[in-house]
Amino acid sequence: MTVQRPVPATGLLVSDVDSTFLTQEVIELVAEHAGVRDQVEEITTAAMRGELDFAQSLRARVALLAGLEESVLAEVRAVLVPTPGALELVRRAKEAGWVTALVSGGFHEVIDELAAQVGIDHVRANRFEIVQGRFTGRVTGPIIDGAAKRRTLEELARRHGVPAARIVAMGDGANDREMLAAAGTGIAFRAKPALREVADVVIDGPSLLEAWPRLEAAAAHR
């Protein structure tokens, strides 16, 4: 009997979610239902510029959601808008044998359903603490900050046997710096200055499909 070995992955594509894979910031969509969107946007903007510690900023934003009904999550999932080219990029990557992952400072409760529909292989994100159908204003489990994003990328690379040269990471904010630095190709998508300065590639156009030639180039590193 012949034992078939798993086919090695062509590469690893890791993307941030808020304002990268999606056009929106998930926590701001949730905050709108609580009537605190402006306050949350202000904190988010400062964090993405690198002016605030990400974990501290996340806790501050989630605290503003205390008491909100869990049912709003379905409404938020219904209005998610993938960035132009994002779904096509994932489709092409998967057809070419790439492992795909979303690594986000956002939330599983909002992201997971879309990721499953698209066929994303791995999702790593935060989780809201919800008790008796209402937000407590806290997160549960470890916070997915910049260091956690990098560690996730490295863990997935080891798991799938992908060398750094065939890893492409995409993001837009300061908390993506470590993840992009650990990838063979780091792509800053419509990004804040704090991320542009460490990126290998900067995309300012509206479509994530502009990243596809970078995946093709990375796949050539064998």
Active-site residue, 172 included? no
Active-site residue, 53 included? no
Query: Among residues 16, 121, 145, 176, which one is catalytic?
Result: 16
Residue 50, class by beta-carbon neighbours within 10 Å (0-12 exposed, 13-18 middle, 19+ buried)? middle
Distance of CA 198 to the CA centre of its chain: 18
Q: Report which residue type is found at 187.
A: I
Q: How many CB atoms lie within 10 A of CB 74?
A: 11
Give the DSSP letter string of 193-215: HHHHTT-SEEE-SS-GGGGHHHH
Whether the CB-CB separation of 164 and 115 falls below 8 Å is answered with no
Query: Among residues 18, 121, 145, 172, which one is catalytic?
Result: 18
- Indicate which residues carry an active-site annotation: 16, 18
